[in-house]
């Protein structure tokens, strides 16, 4: 089952993206939109080893020509960040979410959108939104930032 992780403090410049344990390089955009009603959008856009842009379904498609790199953060630096990991086969019923290696239960929805600024665009700004909604024991909902 593929595993996709993001390690961050909520700022693009302090973010690393991993696929099956390898740190990815050239990631341009990530969109995760998962909810208990069956919504399952998990897309990554990256620049491949051939300099082409690829848009892939994270848990369904083969991430071909993906660039990897050595880990960016030391263990000490990583300890200051939060790690969200999603393991899935592309089916919401076979999807598991972990935060700092602790499995999360009661998730109603997970939304994450990360977009790096275009390197050629002067006015382009990074986007980074990540929130998770839980169902509480009393059936109320609570939403919190992932990072």
Per-residue pLDDT band for 116 (boundaries 50, 70, 90) equals confident
For the entire predicted model, the pTM comes to 0.91
Tally of CA atoms within 13 A in the half-sphere of 144 that contains its CB: 9
What are the structural domain ranges in the chain? Answer: 3-145
User: What pLDDT is stored for residue 106 in this prediction?
Assistant: 92
**Other CB atoms within 10 Å distance of the CB of residue 33:** 14
Contact status, residue 146 vs residue 130, Cβ threshold 8 Å: yes
Mean pLDDT value across the chain: 93
Convert 117-136 to b/e letters by CB count within 10 Å (16 or more is b): eeeeeeeeeeebebebbbee
Contact status, residue 132 vs residue 39, Cβ threshold 8 Å: no
The pLDDT of residue 120 is above 80: no
* pLDDT tens sequence across 16-61: 999 999 999 999 999 999 999 999 999 999 999 999 999 999 999 9
């Amino acid at each position: 089952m593929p595993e996709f992780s993001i390690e961050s403090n909520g700022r693009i410049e302090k973010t690393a993206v991993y696929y099956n344990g390898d740190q990815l390089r050239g990631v341009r955009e990530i969109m995760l939109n998962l909810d208990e009603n069956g919504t399952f959008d998990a897309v990554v856009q990256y620049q491949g080893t051939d300099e082409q842009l690829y848009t892939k379904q994270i848990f369904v498609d083969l991430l071909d020509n993906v660039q990897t790199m050595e880990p960016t953060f030391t263990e000490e630096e990583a300890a200051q960040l939060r790690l969200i990991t999603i393991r899935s086969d592309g089916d919401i019923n076979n999807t598991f979410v972990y935060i700092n290696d602790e499995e999360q239960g009661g998730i109603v929805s997970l939304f994450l959108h990360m977009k790096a600024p275009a390197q050629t665009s002067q006015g382009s700004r990074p986007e980074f939104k990540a929130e998770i909604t839980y169902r509480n024991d009393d059936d109320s909902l609570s939403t919190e930032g992932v990072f």
